[in-house]
Amino acid sequence: MTSRDTSQLQKKYVYLDHAATTPMDPDVFKVFTEYSINNFENPSSLHEMGKRARKSVENSRKIIASSLNIHPKGVIFTSSGTESDNLALQGIMRHRAKERPHLIVSQIEHPAIYNTAKYLEHEGFEVSYVPVTSEGFVELSVLESLIQENTQLISIHFVNNEIGTYQPIKEIGQLAKKNNIIFHSDAVQAFGKIPIDMQALNIDLLSLSGHKLYGPKGVGALCINSQKLTSEKFSNLATFLEPMLYGGLQENSLRPSTENVPAIIALGRAVENAEQNMNKWKEQGKKLQEVFISEVLTKIPYSYLNGNQEKRLYNNCNFRFDGVDGFDLLMLLDNQGIATSTGSACSSKSDKPSRVLTSLGLSPSDASGSIRLTLGKGTTAEDIQYTVAKMERALKQLRFATHFQ
């Protein structure tokens, strides 16, 4: 082995991109592999082994429903948070197309919502985009001013995927309820990290994804608070939501195709783990986040925090730095074994500045000088100190190259 190979093996690796995806927990992976190899049966089959698979799927459905305080039959399994978002927005709007429905979303939604809204607008549906404050919050008075007689759906994410800010979800739910409007929330970043009670928050539809909470990729859910949406039986969920796919009767006829049993079971286990460890993860993450933000803003000149410092998810740190390009900083950190991002992983191939950050009022150059670092349950204080030291060095190098003073 050459000295170069040895140095590569010895290089420290710090993963600070948990908002993009998380590693699968060992016990979750164990369940996933067990149901991939030894319990692989189709849950729609009528034989005994098929019934066993069905029972396991329904158990995961109950786990997720319990965590959200809804009926289990309101949990519709999908392939991802993106599919769940599309099913919610397209499903509601297309089902009510004859009523010429109006949709409201925020300007800083995840691409799964924002680009779906743009697509629906292109198809002839009416869409309004709520502006946000300089810290990324939707103001209720502004949202209320956009409501029309034909407004059928409001979709506002629970936590922003780039800057981690919480939205006033309970108040938005109350506003939607008062105006008899369906309220959907993309909770992909929030679910599994903070408690969510769909009943108490007046959320009608909620999207979640497995790989954001130490579960597998390729599985998500659209969760429906049916008690609020319809007085009809659960078997008639499709009477208010148009499916995007057509085929069998799986998932209350809203998501035909054979269920991804291993991933669904693994998702259930990941949700159980999150429920049991939520307070511990929050306490640990909040302490590290506070240290991280303080160290960066204190030690690195011309550094700023994007978003609100208090009302943000405890694992999110989004910084901007004068005189540098965030992509160049990301690359230098990557060379030191530190994994970060410049924003949403779903938009990482775009050469445009972050839509989220420019919506806060940042100039394109300021937005381009930002990076997102998101902590996980395995992040340590040593990881934070290592990262801050490498960031200091990288920023000095970049600023020297551009003659920034």
The residues annotated with a catalytic role in the active site are 346
β-pairing, 75-78 with 102-106? unpaired
**Element (DSSP H or E) covering residue 87:** helix 81-95
Query: 166 and 158 in contact (C-beta within 8 Å)?
Result: yes
Question: Rounded to an integer, what distance in angstroms lies between the CA atom of residue 266 and that of residue 34?
Answer: 10
Question: Rounded to an integer, what distance in angstroms lies between the CA atom of residue 292 and that of residue 287?
Answer: 9
Query: Terminus-to-terminus CA distance in the chain, angstroms?
Result: 43
Q: How many CA atoms lie within 13 A of 165 on its CB side?
A: 22
Torsions phi, psi for 137 (to 5 deg) = -100, 140
Q: What angle do CA 336, 339, 342 make, to 5 degrees?
A: 115
Question: Rounded to an integer, what distance in angstroms lies between the CA atom of residue 100 and that of residue 241?
Answer: 15
Query: 256 and 249 in contact (C-beta within 8 Å)?
Result: yes
Question: Rounded to an integer, what distance in angstroms lies between the CA atom of residue 310 and that of residue 135?
Answer: 11
Question: Rounded to an integer, what distance in angstroms lies between the CA atom of residue 309 and that of residue 267?
Answer: 31
Neighbours of 214 (CB within 10 A): 28
| Residue carrying the six token digits 């989220």 | 356
For every residue of 150-194, DSSP letters joined together read TEEEEE--SB-TTT-BBP-HHHHHHHHHHTT-EEEEE-TTTBTTB
Q: How many CA atoms lie within 13 A of 288 on its CB side?
A: 28
Q: Which amino acid is located at 343 in the chain?
A: G
Query: 267 and 255 in contact (C-beta within 8 Å)?
Result: no
Q: Is 219 exposed, middle or buried (0-12, 13-18, 19+ CB in 10 A)?
A: buried
